[in-house]
């Protein structure tokens, strides 16, 4: 990773995301690029005829001033970092997805200026988490109010390719922070799947717990191998729904890393239910990662 890209739109959420990105970049000695995507709204009638169109020059000037202010604040906050800014034309999600092809990571807030207030995800953060080529860091505005100074990096694993990619990033994040890594695998036995006899229920649940623990072991063997021996590993096997287990464990984690989809996600789904729930509920920063692919001439 050589560059972090931060999506800026003037909202408090994007300011909070920028502050987190500057800390991350300082820790890793990375360059930072701030991007403001200007999408010009057009109102047309039923036949496609343009009815109204705002003054493009006025919008451009306003956007550039906002971006310049963010750049000035970033440079003042982190004078030792290389920070640049770029005004791009197009829908924010499309602009940032394109930028992700050449970035080490994208950092965005959970919501932007166009999102409904309250605890709802913004459409940009959801699309980025589902479509970005590089890892996406989603930073809730409450992250400074709920610090985890002694926490570890947390990663959820289920044995999928997306899960392995998440584990790989989590190991690197734990190493650069000098903290341990908590590897969590959750298992859940649906009531309809339970046999009637109590002794068989216990055996069935023990089998599921063993499979969850085996998932952790095999994931670490595949991804870590003999590397990252300097990163302390904590194994966590939880009897719960995966999303619930991760939301609870994330409360004390400095960063939670998950794959964009898991074993049970539909291939056409833009984002898995576990990662989406975690984005919705957590008050700590998370990273959403896709499986490694051969795209744009390099591995991601």
Cα–Cα–Cα angle for 4, 247, 5, rounded to 5 degrees: 10
In the 8-state DSSP scheme, what is residue 170? H
d(CA 298, CA 169): 16
105 in Cβ contact with 135 (< 8 Å): yes
CATH of domain 146-300: 3.40.50.620
- What φ, ψ does residue 234 adopt, rounded to 5°? -110, 130
Residues of the chain with CATH 3.40.50.620: 1-145, 146-300
d(CA 150, CA 299): 33
What pTM was estimated for this model as a whole? Answer: 0.85
Helix (H, G, I), strand (E, B) or coil at 86: strand
pLDDT tens-place values along the chain, 300 residues long: 589 999 998 888 889 999 999 999 998 889 999 999 987 665 555 565 555 555 677 888 888 999 999 999 999 999 999 999 999 988 888 999 999 999 999 999 886 544 433 343 457 888 888 888 999 999 988 888 777 778 899 999 999 999 999 999 999 999 999 999 999 999 987 665 555 667 777 788 888 999 999 999 999 999 998 899 999 999 999 999 999 999 999 999 999 999 987 555 444 444 568 888 888 888 899 999 987 654 444 444
- What CATH homologous superfamily does 1-145 map to? HUPs (3.40.50.620)
């Amino acid at each position: 990773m050589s560059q972090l890209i931060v999506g800026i739109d003037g909202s408090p959420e994007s300011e909070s995301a920028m502050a987190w990105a500057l800390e991350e970049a300082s820790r890793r000695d990375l360059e930072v690029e701030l991007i403001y995507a200007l999408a010009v709204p057009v109102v047309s009638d039923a036949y496609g005829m343009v009815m109204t169109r705002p003054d493009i020059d006025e919008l451009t000037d306003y956007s550039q001033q906002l971006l310049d202010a963010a750049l000035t604040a970033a440079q003042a906050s982190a004078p030792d970092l290389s920070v640049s800014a770029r005004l791009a034309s197009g829908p924010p999600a499309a602009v940032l997805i394109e930028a992700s092809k050449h970035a080490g990571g994208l950092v965005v807030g959970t919501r932007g200026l166009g999102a409904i207030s309250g605890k709802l995800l913004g459409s940009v953060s959801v699309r980025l988490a589902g479509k970005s080529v590089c890892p996406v860091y989603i930073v809730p505005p409450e992250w400074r109010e709920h610090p985890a100074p002694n926490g570890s990096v947390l990663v959820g694993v289920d044995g999928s390719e997306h899960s392995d990619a998440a584990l790989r990033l989590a190991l690197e994040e734990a190493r650069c922070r000098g903290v341990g890594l908590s590897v969590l695998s959750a298992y859940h036995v649906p009531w309809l799947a339970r046999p009637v006899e109590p002794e068989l229920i216990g055996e069935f649940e023990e089998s599921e717990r063993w499979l969850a623990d085996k998932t952790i072991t095999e994931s670490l063997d595949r991804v870590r191998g003999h590397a990252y021996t300097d990163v302390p590993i904590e194994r966590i096997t939880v009897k719960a729904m995966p999303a619930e287990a991760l939301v609870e464990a994330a409360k004390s984690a400095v960063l939670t890393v998950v794959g964009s989809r898991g074993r049970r996600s539909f291939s056409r789904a833009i984002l898995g239910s576990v990662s989406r729930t975690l984005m919705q509920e957590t008050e700590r920063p998370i990273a959403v990662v896709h499986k490694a692919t051969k795209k744009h001439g390099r591995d991601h």
